[in-house]
Structure 1
């Protein structure tokens, strides 16, 4: 089926409310949008193989999930009443040590299915066994920005750097351009400055961005201030990390000065107020 016509939907574009089309048509050919406009705008000679009656429905660009650990869909509601670091160190990290590549693949596919059903077409993911996450993206038809998570204080810290480099080389621009890659140091309180220096060296080498948790919890903020005498945002900025394209996840406990720094450095913020 090569040509599809979606007819009768209210089309909401990204160009502002004055551009909303109440009775719109969307023409799709060879898997790509050919035209969007009001009813009757399609060339009469263009004959659809399938017509979808979308009256009473809304058509809009796909949503973007800006920060995920997609395979953790398998762990939904598991001990999630615990404080973050206790939840991670006592429950999640020990369980994750037992996960296989196949577990991560199917956990990602489950998450992908849920995202597609909710209108999400793109996601930014940070986890491990990322080759299998990429395969799930390739098979599903979604778009994704993927990064191999790295914990600088873990025994696997060096391995994570090696795997990240290999992943970027293998998958950046993969799936016909639907996959892009970033580097994924977990957070400034789990990745010491010397480790972040190595991450930045890789980012410079491959010209990729950095996906990192920032200012996620009050405990993190207190720990960073105690150790470095400044906020998480000021700390990573002083290291030079914000000179790279950065996707900052959470960014909950930030000051006006932190916000000013992030604005000046053009940090992309995925504001997740709850961990």
Structure 2
């Protein structure tokens, strides 16, 4: 047994050495120390001018790693995420189509029965092009009456429709919905995501990560970054994720038109990502 383990260790050392020829291999503590060194450098010029992802790409260049590839051996997978400080823009966590999956509920029900004429119908698209684009939360209904409902008994996240909450400016659309559906009221088939399925999808996408908050400034047409706050985020939390949906922090974004369903996305404001993890360490 000792001989086998020794051989395995030699192979691992050899493989790590081969990787090191193309990029450094860090332990978690070594990476933290390297990030602190970068922070101490102060303002750093964008190395990818004209690249909207310059803040992350510049940090990767400084770490000498490939894009979003943290070489931390003998550990669970890790990601590197960067965020522009004081920027609350939405970012996509993952894509997930609602159940019942077999019904293809977005293109087969929401779009034809609850959709509206696409703003570019008759120009870029055919005159018959329909749209169903809604960013929905669990705190307030949209002006078309949609919201997220959490059923803790059934352990489901559902999409709800209340015609009584539709804005008067969408009166004609609401009338057309009644004509298409045959009645007006709650959705006959509510799109939903089971807690366990949703957690499995989220957990496979939201890996442990080093999350770096950076300040940004411009001098002329050149950007500079100050990589200020360093977080280590571990153990994505099912309970915190569901709570974030309940509190309107995680949103569901539908983006479908007749010719193409761009996919249903779960989205969050970038600065809120740390609240989804059980363990948050700041350095």
The verdict on a shared fold, with TM-score over 0.5 as the criterion, is no
- Give the TM-score category using the shorter length: under 0.3
Instruction: Indicate the structure (1 or 2) with the bigger Cα radius of gyration.
Output: 2
**TM-score of the aligned structures, taking structure 2 as reference length:** 0.22
Higher relative contact order (CA 8 A, sep 6+): 2
Between Structure 1 and Structure 2, the one with more helix by share is: 1
**TM-score of the aligned structures, taking structure 1 as reference length:** 0.22
